[in-house]
Amino acid sequence: MTPRRTQTGINHEAYLVRHLFDPDKLKQIPTRNGYGEGLVEAGKKDKNIMVLCADLTESTRSLAFKEAFPDRFVQLGVSEQSMASIAAGMAITGKVPFISSYACFSPGRNWEQIRTTVALQNSNVKIAGAHAGVSVGPDGATHQMIEDIAIMRVMPNMRVIVPCDSVETKKATLAISAAVGPCYFRFAREKSPVFTTDKTPFKIGHAETYRFGADVTIIGTGPLLYEALLAAQVLSVDHGIEARIINLHTIKPLDEKTIVKAAKETGAIVTVEEAQAAGGLGGVVAETLALHTPVPMERIGVQDRFGESGEPRELLENLGLTAPSIIQAVLTVLKRK
């Protein structure tokens, strides 16, 4: 639906949860759970779906699928490179394989195998990157994958999807299983607010507006989108600034139209992601704006550094990825408008 210019506040047609800002009523569930549930449902619908896992069955939530369909679950051991190509071989033979591991290993370690045997061959392999972002926390920098969006979105034929909560992850898993062709999607280990519902629209390649506003647009991807909603609430109440919030769950294929329209209508953009801003969502949006509608822009994301051990919340705050930093970025970008 097209918002009227005067419209502000939450988009009711996005069907977000009713108690959006009530921390007591808001459910906290890791996005990876949505993957587990989505896999089982997809497995029931399509007999050709197979799940491959590299020794991380429980933590990637592939376990539910393994229990429901033991014959279609394949254990690879710690062989991410081979896993990508084995999946390609299976896809060529008519299967729809999902490969599950931590994002730092898949697509981190097996990027070339994905490039050659999945993307170039355009084989129907789905790459599920678990434990993405810095919110893996205590595991430290080795396991905090923040470069995945950048390295995957430059691959021809590849779709890149970053769901924002467990409900959207489930929808994404189902949509991905039905879409023919290579796809990468990432999810997180840590619990995060469930703020969308079964009725919230989700379509690959179609950005959703969650909040109307005409002063600035915050484009977010992944669980940090909730921080953007919090920031917008504070901006509205304390500063009289009405921010539009866009959920850009699909990094590729990119919904350019929605981004350009938001840039034209609000004149300033802030991007929010739990990944390297350079090359990630921040990179995608900067490229789009530079090509079509140059407007001032600020990027909330990891700024060319690695993470480290720490509690998830502590890390997000330390890296400047939470609501206060988003508010600051909005105030900065508005000065440049």
Partner 1 sequence: MPNLTLGPRVRKPLHLHDRALKKLEERALTMRKDLITMLVEAGSGHSAGPLGMADIFTALYFHIMVHDPKKPNWELRDRLILSNGHICPIRYVAMAHAGYFPKSELMTLRKFGTRLQGHPERKKLPGVETTSGPLGSGSSQAVGMAYVGLLDRRPWRVYCVMSDGELEAGQTWEAMLFAGRNKLYNCTFIIDRNNIQIDGQTEEVMPLEPLQAKFEAFGLNVIRCAGNSIREFVSSVEHAHGVSEKPTVIIADTVPGYGVDFMEYDFSWHGKPPTFTEGKEALAWLRTLGGKIKSEHE
Minimum separation from the CB atom of position 96 to partner 1 (A): 11
Minimum separation from the CB atom of position 110 to partner 1 (A): 9
Three-class secondary structure assignment of 102-151:
ECCCCCCCCHHHHHHHHHHCCCCCEEEEECECHHHHHHCHHHCECCHHHH
Is-cis flag, bond preceding 107, omega within 30?
yes
In angstroms, the CA 142 to CA 45 distance is 37
Minimum separation from the CB atom of position 114 to partner 1 (A): 10
Segments of the chain assigned E as strands = 9-10, 28-30, 49-53, 73-75, 96-102, 126-130, 159-161, 183-186, 191-193, 208-212, 216-220, 243-247, 250-252, 269-276, 297-302
The nearer residue to partner 1, 151 or 243, going by C-beta atoms, is 151
Is 77 a binder of partner 1 (CB under 8 A)?
A: yes
Applying CB under 8 A, among 51, 76, 146, 277 the residue interacting with partner 1 is 76
242 noted as active-site residue: no
The nearer residue to partner 1, 77 or 253, going by C-beta atoms, is 77
Is 260 a binder of partner 1 (CB under 8 A)?
A: no
The 10 Å Cβ neighbour count of residue 198 is 9
Site for partner 1 in 13-72 (CB under 8 A): 70-71
Tokens 């021809």 sit at which residue? 156
User: How many residues of this chain bind partner 1 (CB under 8 A)?
Assistant: 28
Residue 32 to residues 46, 245, 280: CA-CA distances in angstroms?
Answer: 21, 24, 21
Site for partner 1 in 99-138 (CB under 8 A): 112-113, 116-117, 120-122
Q: Per CB under 8 A, which region of 17-25, 30-38, 88-96, 275-283 contacts partner 1?
A: 88-96
Is 240 a binder of partner 1 (CB under 8 A)?
A: no
Set 37, 80, 227, 242: catalytic member: 80
- Annotated catalytic residues are 80
Q: Which residues bind partner 1 (CB under 8 A)?
A: 70-71, 74-77, 79, 81-90, 92-95, 112-113, 116-117, 120-122
